[in-house]
């Protein structure tokens, strides 16, 4: 199963956002039991159809219970175990679990 997170930094803060995501946040999420790996992506072009509202995506491989992983993400966000950056557009962030067909 994959957990896909779509996110964008606040305007003009890409460098700060990417530094935080690559050196802090990715490692924090990978420390959660049930998260096996993660990779970040930047949108290259819109391709066909309407453009994307997000400039970045992170794809995590989940080998544990997805509900438990999601609960742990929310718990760590609330209690301060995640060092969250104010460079992220938190309100615009989206996350979805994807299962292989």
Q: What's the pLDDT tens digit per position in 27-74?
A: 999 999 999 999 999 988 766 656 568 899 999 999 989 999 999 999
| C-alpha to C-alpha distance for 69 and 11, rounded to whole angstroms | 30
**Neighbouring residues of 54: CB distance < 8 A, sequence distance ≥ 6:** 6, 7, 8, 43, 92, 94
Rounded to two decimals, what is the model's pTM? 0.89
pLDDT tens per residue, range 86-98: 999 999 999 999 9
User: Six-digit token pair at 48?
Assistant: 């066909």
- For residue 36, with 0-12 CB atoms within 10 Å meaning exposed, 13-18 middle and 19 or more buried, which class applies? exposed
Question: Can you give the pLDDT at residue 46?
Answer: 62
Question: Can you give the pLDDT at residue 48?
Answer: 61
Report residue 4's pLDDT band, with 50, 70 and 90 as the boundaries: very high
Question: Can you give the pLDDT at residue 49?
Answer: 58
Question: Can you give the pLDDT at residue 44?
Answer: 82
């Amino acid at each position: 199963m994959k957990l896909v997170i779509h996110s964008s930094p606040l305007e003009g803060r890409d460098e700060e956002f990417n530094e935080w995501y690559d050196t802090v946040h990715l490692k924090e999420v990978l420390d959660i039991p049930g998260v096996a790996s993660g990779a970040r992506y930047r949108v290259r072009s819109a391709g066909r159809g309407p453009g994307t509202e997000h400039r970045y995506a992170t794809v995590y491989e989940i080998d544990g219970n997805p509900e438990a992983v999601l609960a742990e993400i929310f718990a760590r966000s609330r209690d301060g175990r995640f060092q969250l950056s104010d460079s992220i557009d938190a309100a615009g962030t989206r996350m979805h679990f994807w299962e292989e067909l």
